[in-house]
Structures are given as structure tokens and as C-alpha cells.
């Protein structure tokens, strides 16, 4: 199990608004069953098996393309810990707990 | 007004757990008044004036160092839009609205 | 054909030096035939088929783990353009040409 | 002294080619005296004082804007090591040396 953040930027859009194209990628993500995700103002965070994560990132990346989009810059950051289970919630809780010390 | 995501990674920690060091950076952020922030499982998102953002990122980066930490890798991603006001909440709402179409 | 940048950070390395662990990932990359790569001071840039890139990134990520490394943060940034062929060299040449205008 | 990688993405550029806008940022960098830099196919790597780096990144970010560009996404990754001096060349040499073992 790993946690990954995905950020997709379509280039060559007519206006600076890109949510229309990001929505295509998000719909590709929503079809997935065995994955937890969380939207943030800067990307999407996914928790799951590393193989699943990479497959889904590729699907999201492909979904952003279209007749109107010929270039996509996708960034994925994977946090993969193998001595204990990482979860999205656990990471935030650890930080908040440490911050109170 | 811009939105930025900050991620801080301390290197050379005794164990794979790093929340103790991230907490130092988070405490530096919490002291700030004129800034909105949001913790995510992969970083911290900040909304504010670009000058403030860069100053705070530097403070967070410095705070992560200590006698026990001699190397820090900090990543900042700035989303800066000047034809309309970006907000953390507005960005998520736009994406969700487009996804329903 | 896409271009991607891969950056691998091992956590919990006892000392701030990490090149020993990055070398494992780099050796996994060097075994590949159908790929061009370039080392930079901040990561490795790969040019090739998107499927190959994702497979190689996974191999590099896995190679960084070991008995001594239980957590790895890997970042991949993919620049994928489909109206014309992107190359590592072409991208730098375009920028330099535009800069002389 | 730190090493940083800067990547600038202008949004709403009508075509997928963005080197015209990146050239503005690059010209802002070239005016600097006390800094070493290196272009890569995925960004620009800068070696220098952390304060200088952040100032230059801001200048590069601002330079990318114009009447035709109302949104810019800039990513900066800072590698800052304080127990010994990091250099762009030294980082690559360490990795290559370790890879031969």
C-alpha cells in the first residue's frame, strides 16, 4: 500500500481555466473500485496498491487528452513505506500529534 | 493571491518516520496570521499573497533543520492566476461542477 | 514518446548522503535498452514510450528499497505531447532559440 | 548554498508550445551574476544562496506572465545540505561513483 499525489496540467487550452479537462481525469479515477482518494486544491491523493496507483495515473493522464488537448504534463509523487502501513488519515494524525508536543 | 503546496522531506533521519521534523515546519506555519492553510496527507496547501507564501516557505524549510537534521528537500508548487481570484475552495468546486456535466 | 523526470528520495538513511541508494535505482535504469536517459543534479530524465517509462520508474523505485531502506518517496513528472515529437534535445533547443529573439 | 530546480508552466497558451513564455523566464535568470545554472529538458537547475534562489525564482515566475499569460504554475524543488557543500557537479559525481561499486 502506498499513497500518491497526482497533478495533471493540460497545455494549450484556450483560457487559463482547466477544470473541464481535469474533470475527464477525475471521472477516470471515480470509476475505480479498490482505491481511496481525496481531492485537494492542488491535486488528487490516492491510497492503494502501487501497481493500481500507476495504472490509474496512466488512465487519468490519457483521459485528459482529447481533440482539444495535445499536451499534458502529469506529476505523480509516491510515498511508499514498507515497515508499517501508511494511510492518508494516519499521516495527518501523526503530524498533528507531533505538533502538540 | 496565489495557492501553493509545500512538501518538506528531511534526509538522514534515524527511522523512516519524519513527522517529528515536519511538526517543526508546521509550527512555523501556524504562527502566521494572514494566511489560510490546509493540511493534506502529502503536504500543506497555503493561500495568500505570493510574497508571504515564499517567506513562509522559507521559514518552514529552515524550521525543519536542527542538530539532528542537516539536509532538507523542500518542494513548492505555486498556482498563480491573475485574471480572477483563485481560492482553495473555488478550485475544488470548479472541478466537481465540471465532473457532473 | 514522452519525456519524464524521475526523482527518488530514500527516508531513514541515518546520514544525509543518499547516493548509495540512488545508485541502486540508477543501475536498474542502465539495464534498459530502448530508452534514452540523462542524469541531472536533481534527478534523471528519460525519453521513451510512456508504458516503458512507467515500468522503468517502478523498477527504479523498487530498486531503492532494501534491508536498510523501508521508505522511498519517488516523484515522476511526465511531459507528453502528441501533436509533434518531443525530444530532450529539442526542448532545450526551442528554449534557447526563443531566448535569442 | 543550495541547489534548486525550477519548472514553469504557463496556462492558456492557445497552442501546446510554451517555449516563447519560458524564454521570458530564462532571460530573467540570465541577468543574474552570482548564480550558476544549468538548463535541462525539464527545467532549470540553479546553485547558489537560498535567499538568492528564492528571489530569482520569483523573478522568473513574474517574467512568464504577460498580456497573453494570466496563469502560471511554478514548481521549485530545493535541495539544501548543511553538513557539507552541495554542488551540481558533485551530486552527479557521487552517484556515478557509487554506481560503479
β partners of residue D74: B78, D8
By Cβ distance, the residue of D15, D70, D73 closest to A12 is: D15
**CA–CA separation, D70 and B80 (whole Å):** 8
H or E segment and range at residue A73: strand A71-81
Examine the pLDDT at C52 and tell me if it is beyond 90: yes
Query: What CATH number should be reported for the domain holding residue C14?
Result: 3.30.70.930
Name the band, by pLDDT with cuts 50, 70 and 90, for residue A34. Answer: confident
Structural domain containing residue A67: 2-100
Give the position of cell 500500500.
Answer: A1
User: Does the beta carbon of C54 lie under 8 angstroms from any beta carbon of chain A?
Assistant: yes
H or E segment and range at residue C54: helix C50-64
pLDDT score for D5 = 98
- To the nearest whole angstrom, how far is the Cα of C90 from the nearest Cα of chain B? 25
The interface pTM score, or ipTM, of the predicted complex is 0.96
Among all residues of chain B, which has the CA nearest to that of C10?
B11
Q: What is the pLDDT of residues B9-23, one digit of tens each?
A: 999 999 999 999 999
- To the nearest whole angstrom, how far is the Cα of A72 from the nearest Cα of chain D? 9
Which residues contact residue A67 at a Cβ distance below 8 angstroms, ignoring those fewer than 6 apart? none
Q: What is the pLDDT of residues B29-40, one digit of tens each?
A: 999 988 999 999
- To the nearest whole angstrom, how far is the Cα of B3 from the nearest Cα of chain C? 20
3-state secondary structure of B40: strand
pLDDT score for A101 = 82
pLDDT score for A41 = 98
pLDDT score for B73 = 98
| Cβ atoms within 10 Å, residue C5 | 23
Q: What are chain C's partners, defined as 3 or more CB pairs within 8 angstroms?
A: A, B, D
Q: What is the pLDDT of residues C55-98, one digit of tens each?
A: 999 999 999 999 999 999 999 999 999 999 999 999 999 999 99
Tell me if A71 and C83 make a contact (CB, 8 A cut-off). Answer: yes
User: Does the beta carbon of C83 lie under 8 angstroms from any beta carbon of chain D?
Assistant: yes
pLDDT along chain D (101 residues), means of 10: 97 96 98 95 97 98 97 98 96 96 82
User: Does the beta carbon of A26 lie under 8 angstroms from any beta carbon of chain C?
Assistant: no
Tell me if A12 and D17 make a contact (CB, 8 A cut-off). Answer: yes
Residue of D10, D50, D66, D71 to mutate when probing chain B, most B C-beta within 10 A: D71
User: Does the beta carbon of B95 lie under 8 angstroms from any beta carbon of chain A?
Assistant: yes
Name the band, by pLDDT with cuts 50, 70 and 90, for residue C34. Answer: confident
Mean pLDDT of chain A: 97
Q: How many domains does chain C have?
A: 1
User: Does the beta carbon of D11 lie under 8 angstroms from any beta carbon of chain A?
Assistant: yes
Among all residues of chain C, which has the CA nearest to that of B7?
C73
Amino acid at each position: 500500500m502506498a499513497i500518491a499525489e497526482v497533478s495533471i496540467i493540460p497545455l494549450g487550452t484556450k483560457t487559463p481555466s482547466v477544470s473541464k479537462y481535469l474533470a475527464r481525469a477525475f471521472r477516470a479515477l471515480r470509476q475505480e473500485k479498490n482505491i481511496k482518494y481525496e481531492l485537494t486544491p492542488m491535486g488528487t491523493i490516492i491510497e492503494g496498491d502501487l501497481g493500481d496507483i500507476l495504472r490509474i495515473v496512466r488512465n487519468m493522464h490519457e483521459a485528459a487528452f482529447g481533440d482539444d488537448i495535445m499536451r499534458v504534463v502529469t506529476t505523480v509523487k509516491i510515498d511508499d513505506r514498507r515497515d508499517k502501513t501508511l494511510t492518508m488519515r494516519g499521516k495527518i494524525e501523526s503530524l498533528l500529534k507531533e505538533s502538540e508536543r
